[in-house]
């Protein structure tokens, strides 16, 4: 049984990067949310700003977890808690350098071939105010 990270009620597993966007099954892509905090008005499926905040948080956690510029497949598999075969499939489309895989490219891929910035959040807030 999982509990909501916000209110501690029984929760479902939310994929921060949706599977439809190329989100992978691994702990950093999961957020446990009760029905209200998941699919309600203040949940990431209904609230674009919350969705963006969770994604920026996830991206920050990835950069904290992977402070070096390059990692090998084995090391990524271990640190991200993704089994080696699955990790191999994720890395399939990325360039392998002499030192391994480039962290920024791995994170971009894990974020659904996207990168999120604080600026996008500020722009989003400004747009929301204009509305």
CB 76, CB 106: distance < 8 Å = yes
Pick the binder of Zn ion from 16, 24, 28, 37 (CB under 5 A): 37
Nearer to Zn ion, 6 or 65 (CB): 6
Stretch that binds Zn ion, among 31-39, 54-62, 73-81, 115-123 (CB under 5 A): 31-39
By CB under 5 A, is residue 90 in contact with Zn ion?
no
By CB under 5 A, is residue 4 in contact with Zn ion?
yes
Stretch that binds Zn ion, among 8-16, 49-57, 100-108, 111-119 (CB under 5 A): 8-16
Stretch that binds Zn ion, among 32-40, 49-57, 72-80, 106-114 (CB under 5 A): 32-40
Pick the binder of Zn ion from 16, 34, 80, 82 (CB under 5 A): 34
Helix (H) or strand (E) holding 70: strand 70-71
In sequence order, the 6+-apart residues with CB closer than 8 A to the CB of 36 are 7, 9, 42, 43
Neighbours of 98 (CB within 10 A): 5
Q: List Cα–Cα distances, 67 to 61, 62, 79, 104, in angstroms.
A: 10, 9, 11, 10
Pick the binder of Zn ion from 2, 7, 46, 83 (CB under 5 A): 7
Give the nearest distance from C-beta 24 to Zn ion in angstroms. Answer: 14
In sequence order, the 6+-apart residues with CB closer than 8 A to the CB of 125 are 49
Using CB under 5 A, list all residues that contact Zn ion.
4, 6-7, 14, 34, 37
């Amino acid at each position: 049984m999982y509990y909501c990270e916000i209110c501690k009620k029984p929760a479902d597993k939310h994929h921060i990067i949706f599977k439809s966007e190329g989100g992978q099954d691994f702990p950093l892509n999961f957020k446990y949310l009760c029905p209200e905090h998941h699919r309600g008005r203040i949940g990431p499926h209904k609230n674009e700003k919350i969705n963006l905040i969770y994604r920026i948080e996830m991206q920050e956690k990835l950069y904290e977890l992977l402070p070096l510029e390059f990692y090998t497949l084995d090391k990524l598999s271990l640190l991200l808690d993704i089994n080696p075969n699955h990790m191999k499939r994720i890395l399939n489309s990325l360039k392998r350098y002499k030192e391994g895989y480039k962290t920024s490219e791995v994170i971009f891929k894990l974020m659904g071939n996207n990168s999120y910035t604080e600026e996008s959040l500020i722009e989003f807030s400004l747009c929301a105010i204009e509305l």
